[in-house]
Amino acid sequence: MKERLIIFDTTLRDGEQSPGASMNKAEKMRLAMQLEGLGVDVLEAGFPAASEGDFEAVSEIAAKIERSEVAALSRAVKYDIERAWEAVRHAAKPRIHTFIATSDIHMRYKLKMTKEEVMNAAVEAVRYAKSFTDNVEFSAEDGSRSDRDFLCRIFEAAIEAGATTVNLPDTVGYAIPQEFGDLVKYVMTHTLNAHKAIFSVHCHNDLGLATANTIAAICAGARQAEVTINGIGERAGNTSLEEVVMAVYTRPNFLPVTTGIKTDHIYPVSRQVSMITGIMVQPNKAIVGANAFAHEAGIHQHGVMNNPMTYEIMKPEIIGLSANKLVLGKHSGRHALRAHLKDLGYELSEEELNLVFTKFKELADKKKHVMDEDLEVIVTEGVLRTSDIFALKYLHVTSGTTVLPMASVELTINGRPVRDAGYGNGPIDATFNTISKLTGACADLLRFSISALTGGTDAQGEVTVRLRENGLIALGRGADPDIITASAKAYINGLNRLEYLKAHPTQSAQSL
């Protein structure tokens, strides 16, 4: 019988450290419920000591999640551990995850501590965490650049102190698969009490090798993989949950493990993470990218028509990607909408359903068929953004070859209506200038991109923006059949996220 690979999802913690990917409490809670439905074994909900907002979000998630373990990150200091426990103490299955750096470069230049001081700090942290819960994980930050024998010593000490999981992170994405697999095997072999704990790995993607390193570690004996949806995370991101899970699923003869992930939930959850964070999935992304099951070459198309397995190593339905999405139109009723939203993973209250249904009818009057992607936009904008400071009420734009582009805009700011007009080099520039004037924003626009949510000339346009203000970076996203309106929504969403970041300052949580 195959051993179980524990899937430790850190989308809500390390994933949120992607520049601009901040989430409010409602968004975090919604995503946490979807991750539990996906079947993750451990859900790292955040870093409670970083801020009051993070503490509150972790606490609410811990109180609601029933099946998955809920982990809170802490540095190897008493205050962090106490905050972590306070946040997860009401969870059905709480875990404290404490860490300290173990590489020479980190110990010398960041911690300014000797190996023995780091060893003592790790042992004290694990013992203190153990006084609150039996479920304690210890991580050796920058493990892939640490001395092998020191890793064995500190893991042995951590396990002796009570750690039930020990994690070897490739914090800066430096490792090569064969090297990393050898390191994991060496440490597991030379840590005298290794059999008393689960060995875990947490890999970053700086060299594009996060999934390869994780697979190498699994083959070497690691039985917990720390991952994020869509591979989001600090810098180049983390190991992608969908890539590891589908590698295990697709290559059972090579990988000696199994997971508890419901694979048909993968694509819907991937879409929700993209919608909530504003981070688009690149088209050629493995498993969940738009081109993952697309075939352009004629010889490929011919082969797939005769037998999909000629060029597809997995069926799209396995990850929850259905080819039949045209299900709702202007004559569809409330019950059909509720049922389909439930299939997409959205459990809405009666009040939320009423709000979504109104928006759905408005959209259905503009386009013949309402697609899954359209419904996701409605839920995200209608349900998860209800506490936004800025909201668009009215937009009128004039533009053309013989007129100076002008935008008339009405917003509500904390519920108070304000209106103004302004000019620009084009209709979108005029719109952004007017919104900036109304809100008093001084954010720099770092990136602006447009794509279509679905096919067809009546498709909603999806706009993403990247804004920077006083060192803070936020992503904004908006969708609408009208591209200019979509741009206004994206810009306002980005400004709202900046306001959230200003109101919820965080300490910099090191990415493991």
Describe the strand order of the beta sheet including 390-398 as a list of residue ranges: 390-398, 406-413, 416-423
Burial class (CB in 10 A: 0-12, 13-18, 19+), 279: buried
Q: Are 73 and 44 in contact (CB under 8 A)?
A: yes
Instruction: Cite the DSSP H helix spans in 383-466.
Output: 427-439
Q: With the C-alpha atoms ordered 247, 250, 251, 253, is the resulting torsion angle positive or negative?
A: positive
CATH class of the domain at 3-277: alpha beta
Phi, psi of 196 (to 5 degrees): -90, 0
Which amino acid is located at 447 in the chain?
Answer: R
Q: Are 154 and 122 in contact (CB under 8 A)?
A: yes
Which of 70-74, 315-319, 454-458 is most confident?
A: 70-74
- For residue 374, what pLDDT band results from cuts at 50, 70 and 90? confident
pLDDT at residue 33, as a whole number: 95
Distance, CA of 261 to CA of 323 (rounded, Å): 22
- For residue 67, what pLDDT band results from cuts at 50, 70 and 90? very high
Domain coordinates in residue numbering, the chain: 3-277, 293-323
pLDDT at residue 148, as a whole number: 98
Q: What is the total residue count of the chain? A: 512
Best CA proximity match to 475, nearest among 453, 497, 460 = 497
Q: With the C-alpha atoms ordered 189, 159, 77, 206, is the resulting torsion angle positive or negative?
A: positive
Flag the least confident range among 191-205, 265-279, 409-423: 265-279
pLDDT at residue 298, as a whole number: 46
Residue range 461-478, pLDDT digits in tens: 889 999 999 989 999 999
Q: With the C-alpha atoms ordered 174, 12, 221, 263, is the resulting torsion angle positive or negative?
A: negative
- Report the DSSP beta bridge partners of residue 156: none
Flag the least confident range among 302-316, 387-401, 421-435, 463-477: 302-316
Phi, psi of 486 (to 5 degrees): -60, -40
Output Rg (C-alpha) for the chain, integer angstroms: 24
Mean pLDDT value across the chain: 90
Distance, CA of 26 to CA of 36 (rounded, Å): 16
* Packing angle of the helix pair 148-161, 115-130 (nearest 10 deg): 30
Distance, CA of 170 to CA of 206 (rounded, Å): 10
| Look-up of token digits 């993952």 | 292
Distance, CA of 512 to CA of 509 (rounded, Å): 9
The stretch 344-355 carries a mean pLDDT of: 82
Residue range 284-334, pLDDT digits in tens: 999 999 888 764 444 444 444 455 666 568 888 999 886 544 457 767 788
Concatenate the DSSP letters of all residues of 19-88 into one string.
Answer: TB----HHHHHHHHHHHHHHT-SEEEEE-GGG-HHHHHHHHHHHHH--SSEEEEEEESSHHHHHHHHHHH
Cα-based distances in Å from 415 to 388, 410, 421, 461:
9, 12, 19, 27
Say how many C-beta atoms besides its own lie within 10 A of residue 315's C-beta.
11
Q: What is the DSSP letter of 185?
A: H
Question: Is residue 100 within a helix (H) or strand (E), and if so which, with residue range?
Answer: strand 94-101
Phi, psi of 257 (to 5 degrees): -140, 170
Three-class SS of residue 154?
A: helix
Best CA proximity match to 364, nearest among 388, 414, 409, 329 = 329
Cα-based distances in Å from 182 to 110, 187, 188, 253:
27, 9, 10, 21
Distance, CA of 45 to CA of 295 (rounded, Å): 38
pLDDT at residue 385, as a whole number: 64
Structure tokens at 210: 């996060």
Which amino acid is located at 317 in the chain?
Answer: E
pLDDT at residue 47, as a whole number: 96
Instruction: Cite the DSSP H helix spans in 440-482.
Output: none
pLDDT at residue 306, as a whole number: 58
